[in-house]
Amino acid sequence: MKLSEIRITTTVALMKASVQSSKNKKGRINISKDIERQCEIVGQYLGNKFLLECISDAEECLDNSKKFDEIMNKFESIGARFSENVELD
């Protein structure tokens, strides 16, 4: 499935879970194991895609001095850090 299709099916599943929870008067959504697993799969897919893009960029930098200089200039302002918080650009 395309990522956009997975997003639609997950959104509908959450909507159905919300309707069910309002009928049961629980006031909270029970997220099914299928939704949790689908999110794990998407996260793994995006993580692998991210890694492959980084590998591709690194290979290009080793062959292209201009690209190498560009990435190193950006790196100087960021530094060698590790983060558990991700913000969308």
Widest Cα–Cα separation across the chain: 62
Task: Specify the pLDDT at position 79.
Answer: 92
Supply the angle between the helices 3-24 and 33-63 in degrees, to the nearest 10. Answer: 150
pLDDT in tens, 19-59: 776 666 655 667 788 899 999 999 999 999 999 999 999 99
Q: What is the mean pLDDT of residues 7-20?
A: 85
Contacts of 27 (CB under 8 A, 6+ apart): 21
Angstrom distances, CA of residue 74 to CA of 11, 48, 67, 69: 37, 23, 11, 9
pLDDT, averaged across the chain? 88
pTM: 0.73
